[in-house]
Structure 1
Amino acid sequence: MKLAVVGGGSTYTPELVDGFARLRDTLPIGELVLVDPAADRLEPVGALARRIFARQGHEGLVTTTSDLEAGVEGADAVLLQLRVGGQAARERDETWPLECGCVGQETTGAGGLAKALRTVPVVLDIAERVRRASPGAWIIDFTNPVGIVTRALLRAGHRAVGLCNVAIGFQRTFARLLDVTPDAVHLDHVGLNHLTWERGVRLGGPDGEDLLPKLLAEHGDAIAGDLRLPRELLDRLGVVPSYYLRYFYAHDEVVRELATKPSRASEVAAMERRLLEMYRDPALDEKPELLSRRGGAFYSDAAVDLAAALLGGAAPRRQVVNTYNRGTLPFLPDDAVIEVQAAVDGSGAAPLPVAEVDPLYAGLIGHVTAYEDLALEAALRGGRDRVFRALLAHPLIGQYDRAEGLTDRLIAHNREHLTWA
């Protein structure tokens, strides 16, 4: 089996490689190709990847290349984990929205739209080249904003599934609190990428006992602390929102915080420089502890599970992924991309039935879906008016003067990445 990772020079990659090595019985990889145009990153990451495989006794071949077509040729699956514009673009995404009193974040709000505009055309170009070099390959998208990017891929007819680590992070957390194995925990996870709620935590499958009330009663303070939301709110809702909901439920508080501290992008950039120094040490043959602070926890486990389900030809596996709605949430179009439990096998991901969604959540899901529709049109067709319409539609913006100011700033800070600007 051959897998290619586009964006293989990312500091995330050793987390992924560690999972491939640990879980080789689940996903037997014969060749892993790391593809990246940045040789200064690809070389140390690739060397560390080989040492991780060797330390764990994995016999697969790890190769590196800057040639996309050569790297993906004959691949069974291609993982996308790229960041157009790098951490410098992320730094801008997290700062200029604050000038208009809006949250600055890389996937949510105006910064998220900027990232989508930069990313969608690049990903679609890569996907077309993958299709020509390896027509049967599955594309697993970990590139943010995952929902919008996955929708672009599916609309273009690619064999694609979107993946995020939020659900598997909750699964691991709840399993630890309940003192059970992660596989025993089934989440009633519903929403859009980075806009989800855990409505149930069941043992043994979707029909098992729901232990979410027990978790909130016994561990509510810890869960709320991790989310940086009030315990009272979780008790009133009776659900566990993803931490991205804090940008909606406490928007003004977050804006005040962000205006008074260094950006997350600057922290990550410093961390990446340190990680790359560590990766260049020939004695290092495992992922360093510092990587756990970089983000992407359990990404490797989720990626292995998804790739194994898509390529293994076995019975469908249940996994939270991003895929077409297909009537699952009746208040959304069939071609909206949602994040729910799905049955995944060699034919792709089929969303599983979802219980009726409370209007408190359905309203926000519908609102953000409308924004994502407009964001995708802006990414595909360009134009200042389309950018303005997407910003005006976003529930965190919604005022014409803010949308005007954000439009001007978005275009000014991203002109080099926007062919139409």
Structure 2
Amino acid sequence: MKLAVVGGGSTYTPELIDGFARLRDTLPIEELVLVDPAADRLELVSGLARRIFAKQDHAGKITTTTDIDAGVADADAVLLQLRVGGQAARNQDETWPLECGCVGQETTGAGGLAKALRTVPVVLDIAERVRRTNPDAWIIDFTNPVGIVTRALLQAGHKAVGLCNVAIGFQRKFARLLEVEPGQVHLDHVGLNHLSWELGVRLGGPDGENVLPKLLAEHGDAIADDLRMDRRIVDRLGVVPSYYLRYFYAHDEVVRELGTKPSRAAEVAAMEKELLEMYGDPALDEKPELLAKRGGAFYSEAAVDLAASLLGDGGSPVQVVNTYNKGTLPFLPDDAVIEVQARVGRDGATPLAVPALDPLYAGLIANVTAYEDLALEAALRGGRDRVFKALLAHPLIGQFDYAEGLTDRLIAHNREHLAWA
């Protein structure tokens, strides 16, 4: 089995490598290719990756290349984890929206749109290269904004599934609180990527006992603190929202907070510098503790599970993924991309049935889906007017003057990445 990781020079990669090494019985990789245009980062990351494999007695071969076509040739699956423009572009996404009084964040709002505009054309080019080189390969997208990027891939006819670590993070957290094995915890996870809710937490499987009320009663403070939300929000909803819902439920508070401290991108850039220095240490043969602060917790376990299910029978039959709606949420088009529990196998992902949603959730999902439609149109076709319409449609913006100002700022800060600008 051969896997390729595009964006393999990322400081995330050792987390992925650690999972591949530990879970080799689930996903028996014979060759892993790390693909990245940054040869210097590739050297540091791949050196640590080989040492991790060696320490854990993994017999797989790790190779590197800056050539996408060569890297994805003959791969059974290609994982995408790239960041167009790097942390510098992310820093802009997180700062210039604040000038208009709107949240600055890399996956939602104006910053999220900027990332989509930079990313979708690049990902589609990579996917076309995969299709020309190896049309049978599965594409697993971890590149944000995952929902929009996955829809672009599926709409273009690629064999693609989107992946996020939010759901597996909740699963692991709830398992610890309940003192059970993670595999015993099934989430009633519903929504879009970075716009989702845990409507139930079931023990033993999809039809198991819903212990969410017990979790909220006994651990509500800890759950709310982890979400960085007021406990009253969680109690009033009676469900657990993704922490990204904080940008919606406490938007103005978050904007004030973000205006008083360095951006998350600045923090991550400093962290990445330190991590790369660590990766260059020939004595280091495991992922460092600092990596846990970088984000992406449990990404490796989720990636292994998904790849194993798509390529064989090693993964869990039901997983939370991003895939076509196909009537699952009846108020959305069939070709909208949703994030729900799905049955995953060699033929891809099929969403499981979802009970009728409260309008409180369905309304916001429909609104953000409409924004994502317009965002994808802007990413594919370009043009100031399309960018403006997407911003105006976003529920975190929604005002004419805000959308006008944000459109000008977005284009000015991303001109080098926009072929049409």
- TM-score normalised according to structure 1 size: 0.99
Q: What is the CA deviation profile of residues 150-185 of structure 1, one whole-angstrom value per residue up to 9, with x for unaligned ones?
A: 000000000000000000000000000000000000
Answer yes or no: is the 8 Å Cα contact 1:142–1:163 preserved in 2. yes
Q: CA offset at residue 315 of structure 1?
A: 8.7
**Which position in structure 1 is the counterpart of 2:70?**
70
Separation (CA, whole Å) in 2 of partners of 1:70 and 1:255: 44
> Cα deviation per residue 1:367-419 (whole Å; 9 max; x = unaligned)?
00000000000000000000000000000000000000000000000000000
| Equivalent in the alignment of 1:150 | 150
- Give the CA deviation at 1:230: 1.1
Q: Give the conservation status (yes or no) of the 8 Å contact 2:227–2:242.
A: yes
Partners of 1:245 and 1:313 lie apart in 2 by 35
Following TM superposition, by how much is the alpha carbon of 1:232 offset from its aligned partner in structure 2, in angstroms?
1.4
What's the offset of the Cα at 1:313?
A: 4.4
Question: In structure 2, how many angstroms separate the alpha carbons of the residues matched to 1:281 and 1:140?
Answer: 30
Alignment-mate amino acid for residue 146 of structure 1: V
Q: Does 1:318 align with 2:311?
A: no
Whether the aligned pair in 2 keeps the contact of 1:314 and 1:345 (CA below 8 Å) is no
SS at match of 1:389: helix
Q: How far is the alpha carbon of 1:233 from its aligned partner?
A: 1.4
Per-residue displacement from partner, 1:77-105 (whole Å, max 9, x unpaired)? 00000000000000000000000000000
Structure 1 partner of 2:141: 141
In 1, the alpha carbon distance for the partners of 2:243 and 2:166 equals 9
Distance 2:66 2:313 in 1: 31
TM-score, L = length of structure 2:
0.99
Instruction: Give the unaligned 5+ runs of structure 1.
Output: none
Partner residue, 1:382: 382
Asked whether the equivalents of residues 312 and 345 of structure 1 are also in contact (C-alpha less than 8 Å), the reply is yes
Q: Structure 1 residues 12 and 353, CA, compared in 2 at 3 Å: closer, same or farther?
A: same
Partner of 2:113: 113
The aligned counterpart of 2:173 is 173
Local SS of the residue matching 2:292: helix
Partner Cα distance (2:415, 2:247) in 1: 27
Distance in 2 between the 1:30 and 1:389 partners? 47
1:57 aligns with 2:66: no
Matches within 5 A, 1:17-416: 17-313=17-313, 317-416=317-416
Q: Percent of aligned pairs with the same residue? A: 84
Hey, what's the Cα distance between the residues in 2 that align with 1:168 and 1:66? 31
**Alpha-carbon distance in 1 for matches of 2:233, 2:307:** 37
Q: Which amino acid aligns with 1:211?
A: V
User: Partners in 2 of 1:18 and 1:314 — Cα distance?
Assistant: 18
Deviation at 1:62, TM superposition (A): 0.4
Deviation string 1:29-76 (CA, Å, 9 cap, x unpaired) is 000000001011110000100000000000000001101111110000
Amino acid at match of 2:402: R
Shift of 1:213: 0.2
Q: Does the 8 A contact of 2:305 with 2:314 survive in 1? A: no
The answer (yes or no) to whether the contact 2:304–2:315 under 8 Å persists in 1 is: no
Q: Give the match's secondary structure for 2:277.
A: helix
CA distance in 2, matches of 1:156, 1:304: 25
Q: 1:130 to 1:315 in 2, by over 3 A?
A: closer
Deviation at 1:6, TM superposition (A): 0.1
CA distance in 2, matches of 1:315, 1:230: 36
- Using the TM superposition, give the Cα deviation of residue 228 of structure 1 relative to its aligned residue in structure 2, in angstroms: 1.0
The residue matched to 2:139 in structure 1 has which SS? strand
Give the residue type in structure 2 aligned to 1:104.
G
CA contact (8 A) 1:227 1:242 kept: yes
* Secondary structure of 1:75 counterpart: coil
Inter-partner Cα distance in structure 2 for 1:46 and 1:9: 8
Distance 1:248 1:236 in 2: 15
Q: Distance in 2 between matches of 1:164 and 1:394?
A: 21
2:420 aligns to what SS in structure 1? coil
Once the two structures are overlaid, the 10-residue window that deviates more, 245-254 or 309-318, is 309-318
Give the superposed CA RMSD. 0.7
Following superposition, the deviation at residue 309 of structure 1 comes to 0.2
Match of 1:7 in 2: 7
Give 1:316 deviation, angstroms: 6.9
Q: 1:315 to 1:71 in 2, by over 3 A?
A: closer
What secondary structure is seen at the aligned counterpart in 2 of 1:27? coil
Residues in 2 aligned to 1:100 and 1:314: alpha-carbon distance in whole angstroms: 49
Quote the offset at 1:335 in angstroms: 0.2
**Residues 307 and 315 of structure 2 are in contact (CA less than 8 Å); yes or no, is this contact kept in structure 1?**
no
The code of the aligned residue for 1:252 comes to D
Change (3 A) 1:172 1:315: closer
The unaligned stretches of length 5 or more in structure 2 are: none
* Number of equivalenced pairs: 421
Q: Distance in 2 between matches of 1:245 and 1:58?
A: 40
How far apart in 2 are the matches of 1:411 and 1:70?
Answer: 33
Residue type matched to 2:67 in 1? D
1:127 to partner: Cα distance: 0.2
Quick one: distance in 2 between partners of 1:277 and 1:379?
Answer: 36
Post-superposition CA distance 1:124-151 (Å, at most 9, x none): 0000001111110000000000000000
- In structure 2, C-alpha distance between the alignment counterparts of 1:252 and 1:231, rounded to whole Å: 18
Residues 26 and 308 in structure 2, CA contact (< 8 A), matched pair in contact too: yes
Given that 2:90 and 2:265 are in contact with CA atoms closer than 8 Å, whether structure 1 keeps it comes out as yes
Mapped partners of 1:311, 1:228: distance in 2: 38
Distance in 2 of aligned mates of 1:363 and 1:67: 44
Task: Answer whether contact 2:371 2:394 (CA < 8 A) is retained.
Answer: yes
Partner amino acid, structure 1, of 2:344? V
Aligned-partner SS, 1:235? helix
Offset of residue 314 of structure 1? 6.4
- Does structure 2 retain, via aligned residues, the 8 Å contact 1:391–1:403? yes
Q: Counterpart amino acid of 2:235?
A: D
| Paired amino acid for 1:54 | A
The aligned amino acid for 1:184 is Q
Q: Which runs of 4+ in 1 moved over 6 A?
A: none
- Deviation of the 1:214 alpha carbon: 0.3
| Partner deviation per Cα, 1:247-273 (whole Å, 9 max, x = no partner) | 000000000000010000000000000
